[in-house]
Structure 1
Amino acid sequence: MGSLNSVNFSDLIANESFVAYCLGTDQLAINKWEKFIEKNPQLAPKIAEIKGEVALVHGILPAQLVNNRLENFKRLFFERQRLKRQRIIFFKRTLRVLSAACILLVASFFYFYHKPQVSAIYSYSTIKGKKIGPFVNRRSDILLADGTTVSLYRGSTITIADDYNTADRKIVLNGQAFFSVAHNAAKPFTVFSENLKTRALGTSFLVRDFSSSNPTVLLLQGKVKINQPYSSTSDYLDQGNGLILNRKTKTTSKTTVNINELNQICFSELKFDNASTEEIVSKVEQFYGVEIQLNSVHLKKITGDYSEQSLDQIIASIAYINHITWKVEKNKITFEPIN
């Protein structure tokens, strides 16, 4: 007989031996088909299904009704097989669609997770947060939540962004401050001043940005990236370098920093050794966080340790040594000849 898959269904229904097996009227036919089922156990469910239908067809129903039932059976059987094939095709297609959707979902996750994040554009005037300062003391040390230390100079202020230490670390500076930044590569540290944006990962640097003098960044340790609000170019500083922005021309120049002297100034040591006018002005400005203007004045060289003196004391000393007058307006000190 072979496999049922190779036998025409109509022929099978008309097969007397098969019908006799289905009706249980011929033992030889029963033995024959039972052996066939034993050899082809995978076909047993189909044969059992057809056997029941054949028994119904060959019951006591009228011939016309039997024929109708037989035709209905054929139609339903083949329709069932067709629907079954359609369900298998639909399932395979659905599986492919779901697989593609899963791949797309995973790919989208990795893309959005690993793609470079486009940050909002911030500037000196747009960052909102908690303002600290100004203080009347020469310098006040502030410990931030991430471990960064800010040494804020007299008359200067900082604003700590409301979202500080969330995705990044933003601070607005007005005046002068020394920053000792806690290292965290995932959260860049950026100081916004009026004319410069200084970005560091973990370093120590001094930023000066007053209203009249040339803005300056001096790097004690590490590395920083500096941008200007009105320029797309960037400047990079390594340890022991400084950057000065010419306020009029908007150009920058780099300078070499004396690490030992900068370290002394940033950590409360103000010493002079036969210092010239330029050195006196530079050190006093950095040490006290002020601007000095000399109106037709040339300072005599001085030597000494002024670390413990207040700003008023050292200004008075310089004025006395050089026989000049001086006045203070906020963070600006002006020396003038005595008329």
Structure 2
Amino acid sequence: MTPYEHYEVEDFMQDEFFIEWVLHPSENSNAFWSGWLMHNPDRQPVLERARAIVSSITVKPVARELADTEVRSIIDHVRLNGFKTEQPVPTIKISRTGWFQAAAVILICFTAALLIYRQVNVKHVLSQTNNEYIQVSNQSNQSKLVRMNDGSLAVLHPASVLRYPSRFNGSSRNVYLSGEAFFEVHKNPRKPFLVHSQNMITRVLGTSFTVRAFKNENAFKVIVNTGKVMVYADKQQAHKINAKSVMLLPNQEVTFDHNQIVLKKDTLQTPLLLSKEVATHKFTFNNAPLSQIIARLNEAYAIHIVYDQERLGNQTLTASLSDLPLDEKVKLICKAINAQCSFDGGQIKILNP
């Protein structure tokens, strides 16, 4: 499915289905975009700006062809004046037989409109351009912790790569995964969190889940620990109002066959360690030794927490950690035993007090 909810004005202006709807609306396209706006009201301003720019470019038939000199004059005019936002995009008159010239003129006009839009929105464009992406590649034999600027965490498994922006600008938080990772997403209802993994997209607001999507595997998988997750394939037909997607709840998984583009949903026979009904019991400790607590965390998150077991392993702790994300669990443990913690280099370390 085409992820229109992530589109900016420039993306809409390059989308054939969107342009066809603006210039030649039909009953089906009107129904699609009306339904899309109902589900994505926050994207209406972006869509309307793109629609206005596309609508401003018109072609009117007349009784003669454009001469080569006239086409050259139009091109020169755009080159000289295309950056001036006070000048409107020109309306060009051509004959129906002069379609070669028409194609060239329309291309120039679209370019001019795009340049004008970029000038008007220069601050927005610069903020997006300057937002660097961070790429974390895990070539080790142990999982690696990744902490993002919004407070979300990812436990990146071996042979996996995660790419994410240094700052989550815009109306959504987009990350790109090749391989396998466990995510604990900081809740933000106004900014959905989307994991793009090969041909599959996983959308959440704030929850914990695992995505497995290696390029050399025929099937990808999403498993939910807590919260709700929406999974859909971006190769599905993009212009169906009710395009198929799968909603997952805790202890459910979906398998995506990317060759046949089929999503299969199942319920896990054994509840996950981090699911609420299990975590409430498994992560409530009463005078438990630190070695037991660390072992439980290592098992649940598929990580390896570094600590001095000889010196700290027998210290005891009474606490409920079930509702806390991983980094907060570790911080609370360290506070209780008067130790320091470190999250540098993709590792979690508990330092001796």
Give the TM bin, normalised by the shorter chain.
Answer: 0.3 to 0.5
Q: Which has the higher contact order (CA 8 A, sep 6+)?
A: 2
Q: Calculate the TM-score normalised by the size of structure 2.
A: 0.39
Bigger radius of gyration among the two: 1
Q: Calculate the TM-score normalised by the size of structure 1.
A: 0.41
